[in-house]
Amino acid sequence: MTHAIEVEGLVKHYGEVKALDGIDLAVPEGTVLALLGPNGAGKTTAVRILTTLLRPDAGRAMVAGIDVLAEPARVRPLIGLSGQSAAVDERLTGRENLVMFGRLYRLDKATATGRAAELLERFGLSDAATRVVQTYSGGMRRRLDLAAALVVSPPVIFLDEPTTGLDPRARADMWEVIAELVAAGSTVLLTTQYLEEADRLADTIAVVDHGRVIAEGTADELKARIGGETLEVVVATDDELPVAQKVLASVSGSEPVVDRHTRRVQVPVGTGVAALVETVRRLADEQVTVLDVALHRPTLDDVFLTLTGHAAEDADSSQPAGTAAEVSS
């Protein structure tokens, strides 16, 4: 399999701060890699290096088969970048912005204009096309910014936190757009702090913390790393708790945890849905009124917590840089 992005031992230090501390990545053509990490993990730094904006202290980076450090000029026509904060001209209209970027990608006037109209339509900005960007909402800017990265449908696309600041609806739209890009053959590297987003979009997730990749794999692989599923039953009355406890113990073969306050019984299970079905059947036989029953798979939140020792969203953790390395080893 050919790789659209290949990174080896990328290092970038800012004085004491190790923004990147030796990152390796390989993104097969036509797939999505999500760099998942908390604030200050080094995601933007990695994107900036791969898009020729920043030179690393050490390491190697290939994009679309071209050495980024040796031949940045040959990489630029092949990439699209939508940075962390929307970088469009506020004093121009949405259309003027897109036409300008099209022209800078060396499209002729007619093509650039046509493409701009297409993108404005695609991103739901047609109505605002002739308004200056200054009057746009944050989400509209974000979408315009992404559109600007796509004027020439580049083979490799870098999206730095593409859905930060978008409402749920706009986020779903953005996900759809990204899925379409990939379906059309583009390779996408995106960064995100949202576990759900990585789960939903990415073929591979690289969890980054303190400038290092501390885990990599599909969402399922990452979840599997921290164990199986949990079966959870909520019953109607306190009297039914012991029965439920007995049933779950016998189905799973291990001792359930009982929360009397919420009348909730939980137990780890190895057989997933089969255990769920079995449990429901047996509880019905015992005439237990079940208010709720669920099979919980570990979330990426759990993964993150387990891997890094801190939650994904808990901003720039004040932990020393060494912690991540210890956890991952």
Ligand X SMILES: Nc1ncnc2c1ncn2[C@@H]1O[C@H](COP(=O)(O)OP(=O)(O)OP(=O)(O)O)[C@@H](O)[C@H]1O
* Shorter beta-carbon distance to ligand X: residue 208 or 235: 208
* Shorter beta-carbon distance to ligand X: residue 93 or 192: 192
* Shorter beta-carbon distance to another protein: residue 81 or 188: 81
H-run or E-run covering 242 = helix 241-252
In the sheet where 264-269 sits, what is the strand order? 257-259, 264-269, 229-235, 290-296
Tell the smallest beta-carbon distance from residue 45 to ligand X (Å): 3
Candidates 3-11, 97-105, 179-187, 190-198 — which segment interacts with another protein by CB under 8 A? 97-105
Q: Which residues of 19-48 are buried (b: 16+ CB within 10 A; e: fewer)?
A: bbbebebbbebbbbbbbbbbebbbbbbbbb
* Shorter beta-carbon distance to ligand X: residue 212 or 263: 212
The residues, ordered by sequence, that sit 6+ positions from 232 with a Cβ below 8 Å of its Cβ are 264, 265, 266, 292, 293, 294, 295, 296
The reply on whether position 70 binds another protein by CB under 8 A is: no
Tell the smallest beta-carbon distance from residue 83 to Mg ion (Å): 9
Indicate the length of the chain as a whole number.
329
* Shorter beta-carbon distance to ligand X: residue 161 or 229: 161
The reply on whether position 83 binds another protein by CB under 8 A is: yes
Positions in 105-144 near ligand X (CB under 6 A): none
Positions in 3-62 near another protein (CB under 8 A): 48, 51-54
The residues, ordered by sequence, that sit 6+ positions from 86 with a Cβ below 8 Å of its Cβ are 138, 141, 142, 144, 145
Q: How many residues bind another protein (CB under 8 A)?
A: 28
Instruction: For residue 6, list its beta bridge partners.
Output: 26, 62
Chain residues binding ligand X by CB under 6 A are 14, 17, 19, 37, 39-45, 84, 193
